[in-house]
Amino acid sequence: MTAVGPTEKLFAYGSLLDPALRRRLLGRTVTTLPARLSGFERRRARHCYLVKRRGGAVEGLVLANLDGCELERLDAYEEVPRLYRRRRCKVVAPGARRAIPCWVYLAAPALLAALARKRGPRPTKAPAGPPLGRRQVSSGLAGKPAPDASRSPGETGGRAEPRARFGAGHVRVRP
């Protein structure tokens, strides 16, 4: 992103809440102010991210007095534009009379798509017609038995469910 004025603000809701991390990334202690971003919900996979949610609110900190170079360093840390995009928002601080305009990192489309792939398809209505047998519903493939999660791989005839290539909670984002 392009450089901006010397008094920019950023709403932090994840790893940037850690003062030691901020000092390491920016080389200085940053002035902070508790704040709330309305209309979003914080979720976590490997990284924290926000999703729009009516009535939702996310607690965090406003990092104040950032300059353009510092924002660019934070962009690199947050992997903009691969994982996140920096967008304008307005947050409210306790006791404040007006909303505070600032930046926030929102999940990039690639991150959201990777999270959706990991979660799998959303449930849909069952097709019209006769109900499917247990085997068909469980495995999603007609005529093939579904693995029994309560058994070990040795008890299922040596077939084990394929394991994720990355650890639990990790989301792979394709470039």
Whether this prediction's pTM lies above 0.85 is answered by: no
Q: Three-state SS for 109?
A: helix
State in words which class domain 8-113 has: alpha beta
Domain segments of the chain as ranges: 8-113
- Compute mean pLDDT per 10 residues along the chain, 175 residues long, and list them: 69 97 96 97 92 96 96 97 96 93 95 82 46 40 43 43 41 52
Burial of 25 (0-12, 13-18, 19+ CB in 10 A): middle
Residue 116 near residue 110 (C-beta atoms within 8 A): no
